[in-house]
Amino acid sequence: MDGQKSCLSCGGSLQSLDQSYHYLECGLPNVYLEGVQSTCEQCGEIEVTIPNVPALHRAIGDHVIRYGSLTPAELRFLRKSARLTQEQLANEMEINRSTINRWETADEKVWSKSEDFLIRVIWVQHMYGLRDELDALKNQLFEMVRRAKEREDIRINLAELVTT
């Protein structure tokens, strides 16, 4: 990154603008960026420079995953910032791609609390490079759920029951 930026239109020198930028391009309605806008001294053109989009999107996601309930737009944002296709996210959640698409295009949240939680876990996993650790944990949990479906008789020997 060069410190002295110049206008892309005329080559004039740019002055940073002390205005927040409504970052609608990220797909969320409530994100404002400081220190990204500059104006050309010669032609008056306003430029927006975001040097590190992945880092920015991770910072935005850090806020989003702390919200009580995700919106469809936030779900889409988290998926895309983790660089996952709908197909890939669906595979990680062991559901259909069309379900993810339905969630993202719904007017309001239509997925469950546990699905919401899993989406956040997957996001953290991808953004913070915890793939192996969390993959192992996630596989264990999926395996538990799979086995839970095969219901069988519960046999408990009271003589062996530990009471405290």
Provide the binding-site residues for Zn ion, judged by CB under 5 A.
Answer: 7, 9-10, 12, 40, 42-43, 45
Rounded to a whole number of angstroms, the minimum distance from the CB of residue 15 to Zn ion is: 11
Hey, what are 70's tokens?
């995700």
Rounded to a whole number of angstroms, the minimum distance from the CB of residue 12 to Zn ion is: 4
How far apart, in whole angstroms, are the C-alpha atoms of residue 6 and residue 12?
6
Q: Which C-beta is closer to Zn ion: that of 19 or that of 71?
A: 19
One-letter amino acid at 163 equals: T
Q: Which C-beta is closer to Zn ion: that of 41 or that of 94?
A: 41
CB 92 within 8 A of CB 86: no
Rounded to a whole number of angstroms, the minimum distance from the CB of residue 7 to Zn ion is: 3
Q: Which C-beta is closer to Zn ion: that of 45 or that of 115?
A: 45
Backbone angles phi, psi at 73, to 5 degrees: -65, -35
CB 39 within 8 A of CB 15: yes
